[in-house]
Amino acid sequence: MAPVNIMKNRIRVFLVIFLVVVAVALAVYLLCYPALRDLPQIKESGRLVMLTRNNTTTFFIYRGFRYGFEYELLKHFADENKLKLKVKIINAWDQMIPALRDKTGDIIASNFTITPQRARRVSFTEPYLVTREVVVASDKVTDVASPEDLDGKTVHVRRSSSYYQTLKHLEKSLGIRINVKFVDEDVETEEILYMVSKGKFTLTVADSYIAELQKTFYPNLKILFPVSHDRKIAWAVRKSSPELLKALNSYIKKIKKDGYLNIIRNKYFRRKKWFARIASHPGFTLKSGRISEFDELIKRAAAEVALDWRFIAAVISVESGFSPSRKSWAGAVGLMQLVPRTAEKYVRGDVSLPENNILAGSRYLKELYKIFAEVPDKDTRLKFVLAAYNAGMGHVWDAMTLAEELGLDKHSWEGLKKALELLSKKQYHSRAKYGYVRGWETVNYVEKVWEKYQLFRTLVSE
């Protein structure tokens, strides 16, 4: 064979091998990495997932309602884009970026400082806060007055925090040696500050606005001196989400200009008396470990009916916002918004009283739970219970029948959800036994209670 032909054959073989390798690599990539999730896909799904931590500056529960500086800003953005904001609490700080990159959530909103190390892995928005990192001690510490005095001192921080990077920079620039002790990655900066106030830790580093806020709770904290230049706080998104990044940047510029950012910032960082009142309330879940002032009543009722008390608390939170005097236009009363004639089947006495109302509502939930025994999955069964609690059993039976007619799984939430939504249309409700129902409202109710329940499960022990 001529040398030219041999060369041509070798080139063909090489090209075939190259194309096979590229095809295999592409297939592996598509299998290992989920589909793109940028702003169009987020809008199509109808929800934006916020990755955060449970603390006083980002996100917390008070009397069953959601608050927090980061939460309110992002909720405003979600509302403007007609999106539901779902909150996902990440258990450890060093898992924030992995959770973002594996699409557990869409955006990190949790006092996240822009650092070169993080910027290599994620895309940061325009900053919405500028702060300085400061050294904090209790008022008993008297021998630390400057960064040089940190030489030989013990300072407690998280390894993944920007504070650790600041301490390393100080050691190098000042020629000192700091004894850095690492706390667990699930420990909040405010928890470290609490330990400092109690004398269990000597020193720590924190953002100045966090330290100032915590002085409201722990007056013996002493902010010593800054150890950084201005630090920029921003949200983080995946590098594969440029449209989300663009929309967030436009939003941040807008709220800076129209004053909304200042309003929310002042609410959380300037109104310290308001915050102190919240922090001392039993419904401030972060500090009290409780959901509401009615926890003991809820737990007693839950124990009787063998349901998770946090599930019942989620129902109460959505139904009445833990307000026992709430009355609806339809005549429903009390914490669990029961119609008296329904409540009287389950308790004797005044059904507007918290104890009677909670017990009646819990017993009603348990009865519904038994009725839907044919639903095999426990969580799905609880969603059916919520749908019946909101719309009535008859409409849920109608929806299950319709789901089966449509070839859907009548024992799945997705099947029931689709059928409930269709029962608001004449072509479907005209032949249903129990007729018309605002199915979309019931679906929204179920998903709202369920999200609350998941948050309570994350934040409060069983």
Phi, psi (degrees; rounded to nearest 5) at 285: -55, -40
**DSSP assignment, residue 36?**
P
Hey, what are 331's tokens?
Answer: 């005549």
Contact 422/439 with Cβ under 8 angstroms? yes
Residues 37 and 48: their CA atoms lie apart, in Å, by 11
Nearest to 118 by CA among 96, 102, 87: 96
CA 338, CA 345: separation in Å to the nearest integer?
11
Q: Confirm if 238 and 101 have CB atoms less than 8 A apart.
A: yes
Biggest CA-to-CA distance, the chain: 104
Q: At what angle do helices 69-80 and 242-258 cross, to 10 degrees?
A: 110
For 93-105, give the secondary structure using H, E and C.
HHHHHHHHHCCCC
Catalytic residue among 319, 355, 367, 374: 319
Take residue 109 and report the two structure tokens written for it: 């909103």
Reported in sequence order, the residue ranges of 236-296 that DSSP labels E, i.e. its strands, are 236-237
**Is 447 labeled as catalytic in the residue annotation?**
no
Q: Give me the amino acid identity at 296.
A: E
Tell me how far the alpha carbon of residue 121 is from its chain's centroid. Answer: 22
Q: What is the DSSP string of 127-195?
A: -SEEE-EEEEEETT--S--SGGGGTT-EEEEETTSHHHHHHHHHHHHHT---EEEEEPTT--HHHHHHH
Q: Which two tokens stand for residue 181?
A: 């002790």
Question: What's 432's DSSP letter?
Answer: S
**Cα 111 to Cα 109: distance, rounded to the nearest angstrom:** 6
Report phi then psi at 194, rounded to 5. Answer: -60, -45
Q: Going by DSSP bridges, is the β-strand pair 203-207/133-138 parallel, antiparallel, or unpaired?
A: antiparallel
Residues that are catalytic: 319
